Structure 1
Amino acid sequence: MLRYAIFRIAGRFRMNSQATMRRSPPVAPKNGETSATESSGLRIYQDRVTALAERIRGTSDVSTIIGILNQALAETRRLRVREDALAAAQRKVAEAERDIEAMRNELEKVKAMLQQDPLTGTLNRRGIDEAFRREASRCDRHGADLCVAIIDIDNFKAVNDSLGHQAGDRALQHIASVVTHTLRPADRVGRFGGEEFLLLLPDTALTQSAPVMARIKRELAARPLVEAGERVKITFSGGVAQRSARESLDAIVARADAALYQAKHAGKNRTALAR
C-alpha cells in the first residue's frame, strides 16, 4: 500500500508540475521590458520540481517524501511574477500549491495508518519507535524527564478462555480507550505486544509516574467492561522506568519490563518502579 501511494503521488506531482508549466502563457513585455527574467524563473522552477519528483520516486521513506513535498511547496510559493503579465500563470501556481498540499496531507494520513494498531487505534511498534525518537531527542536537547511505562493486562488468557477471543479484543480496546482518555494529550500510548501497552510520559519524573498509573487504575475500575450484561473486572500490572541521558528505547524497555515482572510476582494489579 505504501509503495503504491508513493508512486501515485510521485506521478501526480510530476503531471501537475508539467501542467502548470504548459498552461502558463508567455509573458508580454511591458514598457519595453523583456520577459526573460520571468521565463528563466519558470524554467528554473520546472527543473527543480522535476528533480524533486525524481527524488520522491527514489525513496520509500514517508517522512523524507513529506519533506520533499514541503520543499516543493516552498519552491511553488516562491514562483511569483508580475500580476499584470502572468495573472493566468499565477492562478495555475495557486492550483499547484493546493495540489501539493493535498498530496502532502494524503501522505500524512498514509503515514498515520502505518503507525497505528488496527485493533486499538493506539500506536503500533513502528509508531512507538518514531514517537520515542522524537521525545528522546527533545529531552536530550532540553534536559527534560521522560518515563516509559509498560502495562500488561492481568489474567488476559482467562478472559479469552471464558468469554471468547472477541471479548478479549474488546477488552484490549476498552483498556486502550481508558488509558488514552486518562493521559495528557502530550502522552503517547502504543500496543507493544499481545496484551501489553507502552506509555510515553514526557516531562514526567519517576516519582511523578506513580500517581499517573494510580489514576489509570481508578478510571479503569470506574469504567468496567460490560459483556453480555455482566461487568468484567479488568486490572493490569505495570512497570515504569525513567530514561537516563541518551538511553535507547530497548534499554529503557528492558528496565521497565523488569519492574513489570516484579509487579506480577508481587501479586498483580500493581505498579513497580525501576530504581
Structure 2
Amino acid sequence: MQTLSEMRLKLVKSSEVGEENETSEESSKALLTVDEYYQHAEQYAHEIRKTHDVNEIIRILDAVLSETRDLHQSDEMSNSRHKISDTEQKIESLKHELALIRELVHTDQMTGLFNRRGLDEHFIREAARADRSKNPLCVILIDLDNFKEINEIYGYPFGDNVLISLARTIKNALRPTDVVARYGGEEFIILLPDTEINDAVRIIQRLQRMLASNPVLNKDNQPVSITISGGVTLRQTDEHQHTVIKRVDEALFRAKNTGLSQIEVAL
C-alpha cells in the first residue's frame, strides 16, 4: 500500500520539474482521475482508522481536501462541480470540529490554560528549538500558598475563582512566546524560552507583586490576599522533560518548606 507521502509525491511531481515552458497538456496529465481519487480516499480512510492522533487526522484531511480541489480541474468531473464543492465544505467542517476537539484535549477547562497534555506537546517543541539554537529554556513551577485552607475557609467556588484569577495574572505577565499550563490542582508550570535563571526569578517576583496588589474578593466583597511560592530551573541541553520537572519540583518543595511567598532555584 502506498504511504500518504508517496501518494502526494505522485500528485505534485510534475509541478516540481520547475520548467516554465511546461505545456498545459503535460500539466493535465498530473490531474487525478475519478478512479484515482476514490482509490486514494480509501487509502486515506484506512490511515485515519489506524491513528488516534488528532493532528495526524487533520493532516490527512488536508491531503484529501487538496485532492478534492484538484478535481475542479478535471474534465471528467466538469458536470459534478457542485458535488465537489459540497465535499470540500464537509471536509472543512470536519477539520474545524477536530481542531476544536484538539483544543479541548490540550486545554484545562477551568482556567483556559494548557493542561498536562498541552504542556507535553509544547515542551517537546520548545526543547527542540532550544537545542537547535543553543538558547536557554527556563522552567518555573508555581504553587498557591495555603490553598487547602482557602477552600476550607471560603469554599470551593471561591477557590476556583482564585485559580482563574491566578491564571489570568500569569498570562498577563508573560510574553506571547511563553507557555503556561495548569500542572495539577493549584500548581502551574511556565516555560520561558530564551530566558536565563535570574530573569525567570524576576518573573516570579513580578507575579508575587501583581497578586499582592490585586487581592481576590470573597462573597462578602472583602479582599483575600493570595500568595505563591515557586521553583525555577534551567533545562540542560538534550535534557528530558521528566528530569527537568523533577528538579524544579524539588526546588518548589524547598520553597514551600521555607515559608510563604518563597522562591528556590535548582541548578
Distance in 2, Cα, partners of 1:246 & 1:73: 38
3-state SS in 1 of match to 2:223: strand
Residue of 230, 240, 254 corresponding to 1:248:
240
Which residue of 1 is the match for residue 130 of structure 2? 139
Which of 135, 145, 148 is the equivalent residue of 1:154? Answer: 145
1:29-59 alpha-carbon deviations (Å, 9 max, x no partner): xxxx9xx969962211111112112221232
Retained in 2: the 8 A contact 1:81–1:90?
A: no
Aligned residue in 2 for 1:121: 112
Per-residue deviation, residues 217-255 of structure 1 (Å, max 9, x unmatched): 222122210002110100000001111111111110111
Counterpart pick for 1:45 among 20, 34, 37: 37
Which residue identity is paired with 1:97? Answer: E
Which residue matches 1:9?
none
**2:32, 2:70 within 8 Å by CA — same for their partners in 1?**
no
Is the Cα–Cα contact under 8 Å of residues 38 and 81 in structure 1 kept in the other structure? no
- In structure 2, the residue corresponding to 1:189 is in which secondary structure? strand
Which of 76, 81, 95 is matched with 2:68 structurally?
76
User: Counterparts of 1:274 and 1:46 in 2: how far apart (Å)?
Assistant: 57
2:233 matches 1:233: no
Partner of 2:250: 258
Q: Could you tell me how far apart the structure 2 residues matched to 1:140 and 1:77 are? A: 39
Bigger shift: residues 142-151 or 73-82? 73-82
Please tell me the root mean square deviation across aligned C-alpha atoms, in Å.
2.3
Alignment partner of 1:96 is 2:87? yes
Following the alignment from structure 1 to structure 2, what is the Cα–Cα distance between the partners of residues 156 and 113?
A: 26
Read off the aligned partner of 1:50 and give its amino acid letter: E
Q: Tell me: CA distance 1:50–1:82, structure 2 relative to 1, closer, same or farther (3 Å).
A: closer
1:175 lines up with 2:157 in the alignment: no
Residue matched to 2:121: 130
* Other structure's SS at 1:192 match: strand
Q: Distance in 2 between matches of 1:269 and 1:209?
A: 15
1:112 to 92, 99, 103: 103
Number of equivalences: 240
Identity %: 38
TM-score (norm 2): 0.82
2:196 to 205, 214, 222: 205
Residue correspondence of structure 1 range 214-233 to structure 2 within 5 A:
214-227=205-218, 228-233=220-225
**Separation in structure 1 between the aligned mates of residue 88 and residue 196 of structure 2, nearest angstrom:** 44
Q: Unaligned 5+ residue runs, structure 1?
A: 1-32
- CA 1:42–1:172: 2 relative to 1, 3 Å: same
Give the distance between the partners of 1:245 and 1:74, measured in 2 at CA. 39
* TM-score, length basis structure 1: 0.80
SS at match of 1:273: strand
2:182 corresponds to 1:191: yes
CA distance in 1, matches of 2:91, 2:124: 27
Say if 1:97 and 1:264 are closer, same or farther in 2 by CA, change over 3 A: same
Any gaps of 5 or more consecutive residues in structure 2? 1-24
